A and B are shown apart, each in its own frame.
Chain A
Amino acid sequence: MYPFSHHTQPESLITATGLWKSFDRGRIRVLQGVDLRVQAGETVALCGASGSGKSTLLNILGGLDSPDEGEVRVDNQPIRTPAQRTALLRHTVGFVFQLHNLVPDLTLRENCLVPALAAGRRPAEALPRIQELLAATGIAHRIDRPAQELSGGERQRAALCRALVNRPRLVLADEPTGSLDEENGARIFRLLIDLVARENATLILATHDRPLAESCSRLVLVRDGRIVHDG
């Protein structure tokens, strides 16, 4: 288990303490007392079988869900209320999902504008950043196409761009290559690692792909809702 101590470790970007989470009125225990501490600049792979609890952990860390027990702190500030979770999603966290989760009727540009809009930024202000990210991911020429017209790889690149629009310090990626073929998956993963490094962001990645996980600076193994290895 990851050795967690406020006194011996340097300041963390995100700290989870004693996270418990269950579904179906407590019948399905997904997280059972998880402690995790991540420093700024780390690339952490959460590895485990399907149903091990890594996605739930990622959701709780990013403010998409709340724990039944335990606490998440970002920059040592507790994230407890819905308003705090919304602020976290707007300013600190960018999510990349397995199924890209783009809004199909919006164009690529509009999908990328969604986080900016949520954060109260004007489109004109956010557009240069979006163009820069689209250029970096090689899909700038598709900017005015509806998301539903993009290929699988392009959609995942678009999701990557959208996650980075508000310059988050923490990128949470849940099986980002899970819906792609091996070749496309490897490309997207490389792109994700490169972009996160370029943005000086921290990455926590949930995957059951061991080779991808080993490319990260730290590997955390999750089994039955508990962290069984961290290193």
Chain B
Amino acid sequence: MNHLRLVAINLRRHRVRTIIGVAGIALGVAAMFSVVAVVRGAIGMFQGILAHDSEMLVFERSVSDLFFSAIDDEDLLKVRAMPEVATALPLLFGLVSTEGHPVVTCFGVSPEDPRLDSAAWLAGQRTAFGSREDTVVLGARAAEFLEAAMGERVRIGAHTYEVAGIIRTRNGFEDGGVFMPLPTARSYFRREGVSSILTIKLHDSSAAAAFRARVAAEIPYLIALENAEFNRGYSQFKILRATSWAVGLAAFLLGGLGVANTMVLSVFVRIRELAILKSCGFSPRQAASLILGEALVVSLAGALLGLALGFAAVVTMEHLPLLQGYVMPSIEWPVAAAAVLVAVFTGAVGAAWPARFAMRIETARALRYE
């Protein structure tokens, strides 16, 4: 027998309480893991749209959301003329709602956009994109949920367009989106002569700083950022990340309170037993280590169960037709490890006061308890 055996015996003896404690932590971990995975996946997908075969982004300075950014064609031409630039492609974002689908993302792209090259064309011709303005290309999932086939007319918001192609991409947003020729998108969203962003490919990637400085000097109301720099600084990403961690931590806090409650009860119902152990020579620290040990076992079991639940939840969300493929969770093991560590830490903090109480039990007095 060792300390672990004593820990195991007590956890087994109070099965229901143990299960509640494990479930509290598991739900916290599952919430944290799945929320963070979904949000990071969403951020990753959006980053993928912005950074497709490019190194830098140009957008309107001082906008909080890229959907509100506006770069006119005159500035597009100026950027294209800069010596560092190999290609500068315009991209216009728009959101429309159609019947039964409140949010459908639209991408206004030029015919030479590389994402059309890298996509798998399930129907239609790549070379025909943009040849007619009343046509759209649908992402494969968009085609599914809009129930549209090649050559049919599909309602996008207030207008109908002919489906000129169906493509499958690796990006959930793109796969659930509608690709419009840039002029069509500009017309639809009433943003004539305007793009949301420019995706930039440089002749030499080491010229990024020079390009950024040139944009700042020549078109001061625009800003050029390297993709990684943008990912770090974009306020929407920051808000999303902070929200996901806040939700996860709040869930953990509840889980931690559950563990604290479990441990407080665990100590209070066996004050006499702890006193017996102390009368046999257990030091206050050894008594506390039993309580902390129980909390750590509960937390660890909860964390592992929570990871399994979280994993199952994100896989389910990924395949749920209702979510239209917008959920492409990013399952990262450092996040899982962080969730386990936070769970164990939460458990330890939750058990701190009960453990302190166990340390301070007055043996002689506690032995008189019935």
Could you list which residues of chain A lie within 8 angstroms of chain B, going by C-beta atoms? 56, 59, 64-65, 82-83, 86, 89-91, 95, 97, 101-103, 105-106, 109-110, 113-115, 117-119, 123, 162, 166
Interface residue stretch chosen among B31-39, B55-63, B228-236, B274-282: B274-282
Report A-chain residues with C-beta under 8 Å of the C-beta of B363.
59, 64-65
Contact B279 A95 (CB under 8 A): yes
- Determine the residue in chain A with the shortest Cβ distance to B9: A105
CB B280 to nearest CB in A, in angstroms, measures 4
Contact B279 A117 (CB under 8 A): no
**How far does the alpha carbon of A95 sit from the alpha carbon of B282 in the complex, in Å?**
13
**How far does the alpha carbon of A86 sit from the alpha carbon of B283 in the complex, in Å?**
6
**How far does the alpha carbon of A52 sit from the alpha carbon of B276 in the complex, in Å?**
23
**How far does the alpha carbon of A106 sit from the alpha carbon of B10 in the complex, in Å?**
10
Report B-chain residues with C-beta under 8 Å of the C-beta of A65.
362-365
CB B362 to nearest CB in A, in angstroms, measures 7
Partner of A162, one of B3, B5, B9, B280: B280
Q: Is B273's CB within 8 Å of the partner chain A?
A: yes
Given contacts A59-B364, A65-B364, A106-B9, contact A101 B279 (CB under 8 A): yes
**How far does the alpha carbon of A123 sit from the alpha carbon of B272 in the complex, in Å?**
24
Q: How large is the interface on B (under 10, 10 to 19, 20 to 34, 35 or more residues)?
A: 20 to 34
Q: Is B202's CB within 8 Å of the partner chain A?
A: no
**How far does the alpha carbon of A109 sit from the alpha carbon of B5 in the complex, in Å?**
13
Contact B367 A97 (CB under 8 A): yes
- Determine the residue in chain A with the shortest Cβ distance to B5: A110
CB B222 to nearest CB in A, in angstroms, measures 70
Given contacts A105-B9, A105-B13, contact A115 B280 (CB under 8 A): yes
**How far does the alpha carbon of A105 sit from the alpha carbon of B9 in the complex, in Å?**
7
Identify 5 new A-B residue pairs, CB closer than 8 A, beyond the known A65-B363, A86-B281, A118-B282. A86-B282, A89-B281, A103-B273, A105-B9, A106-B9
Contact B9 A89 (CB under 8 A): no
Interface string of B271-299 (1 = CB under 8 A from A): 01100111111111010000000000000
Q: Is B158's CB within 8 Å of the partner chain A?
A: no
Q: Which of B276, B279, B363 has the most CB of A within 10 A?
A: B279
**How far does the alpha carbon of A59 sit from the alpha carbon of B281 in the complex, in Å?**
13
Contact B281 A115 (CB under 8 A): yes
**How far does the alpha carbon of A90 sit from the alpha carbon of B9 in the complex, in Å?**
23
Contact B1 A123 (CB under 8 A): yes
Given contacts A106-B9, A123-B1, A123-B2, contact A114 B364 (CB under 8 A): no
